[in-house]
């Protein structure tokens, strides 16, 4: 990140302009994991590792119906939970994390999901990314979720050069008001999934093309770029 104050100010202005343009493209951006309670979101986020949100949403209705509370998770028979989680991949490790999560919540938090990042990251299977997802979407506490999409888009936009998720979180967070952090995360993740793809970004159909230093890394022809957009992932429900 540039050190001189004038360069930092220019970066903030460009970053905030980029965010406004992306927010106009994705005004409906949201957490794509289905949940009704903080516990459900916490579990779903843990399960989303190495798989898609769509895949997680297919198994969580059965999982949550069978294990509705932290105590139920804690007492689960591993082999039975593994069968439910099998489609998500790495199901044995995820089963251990989810059961361990339930046990930790019962033992240390009266079965409730804590509302502080410092407490969340001590739970089995929970890192800063997962903690920020829960804080921002279940408790309304602003947080930046640095997944692979967020990090890639932030670097392409020139908001950071870092690859370490924690460093990216702090550097990008310094460019925006804290109140915007959660929605910023949704918007960048939506953009990464729908337009700014890892292998072949749709530069010619990108709303921030004019101010993106990485313009040209992908398809610049508008017609060809339009075909790369993933519309099937756009608004859901009543968005």
Tell me the pLDDT of the chain averaged across its residues: 94
Provide CATH code, domain 5-29+144-233. 1.10.1670.10
Mean pLDDT of 89-93: 96
Q: Has 164 been annotated as catalytic?
A: no
Mean pLDDT of 123-148: 96
**Domain 38-127 class in CATH:** mainly alpha
Active-site pick, 34, 53, 94, 129 = 129
Q: Has 236 been annotated as catalytic?
A: no
Contact in structure between 15 and 157 (CB atoms under 8 Å):
yes
For the whole model, what pTM was predicted?
0.89
Domain ranges (residues) in the chain: 5-29+144-233, 38-127
Active-site pick, 108, 147, 164, 237 = 147
Contact in structure between 191 and 147 (CB atoms under 8 Å):
no
Return the pLDDT at 235. Answer: 46
User: Predicted confidence band at 191 (pLDDT cuts at 50, 70, 90)?
Assistant: very high
């Amino acid at each position: 990140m540039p050190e001189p104050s004038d360069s930092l100010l220019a970066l903030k202005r460009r970053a905030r302009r980029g965010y406004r343009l992306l927010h106009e493209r994705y005004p409906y951006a949201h957490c794509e994991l289905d949940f009704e309670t903080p516990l459900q979101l916490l579990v779903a986020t843990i399960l989303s590792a190495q798989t898609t949100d769509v895949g997680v949403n297919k198994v969580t209705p059965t999982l949550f119906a069978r294990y509705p509370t932290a105590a139920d998770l804690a007492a689960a028979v591993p082999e039975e939970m593994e069968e439910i989680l099998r489609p998500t991949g790495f199901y044995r490790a995820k089963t251990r994390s989810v059961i361990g999560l339930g046990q930790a919540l019962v033992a240390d938090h009266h079965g409730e999901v804590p509302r502080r990042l410092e407490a969340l990251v001590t739970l089995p299977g929970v890192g800063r990314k997962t903690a920020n997802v829960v804080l921002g979407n279940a408790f309304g506490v602003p947080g930046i979720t640095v997944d692979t999409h967020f990090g890639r888009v932030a670097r392409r936009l020139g908001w950071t050069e870092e690859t370490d998720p924690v460093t990216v979180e702090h550097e990008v967070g310094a460019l925006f008001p804290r109140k915007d952090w959660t929605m910023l995360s949704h918007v960048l993740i939506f953009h990464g999934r729908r337009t700014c793809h890892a292998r072949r970004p749709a530069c010619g159909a990108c709303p921030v093309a004019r101010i993106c230093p990485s313009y040209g890394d992908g398809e610049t022809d508008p017609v060809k770029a339009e075909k790369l957009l993933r519309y099937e992932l756009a608004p859901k429900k009543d968005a």
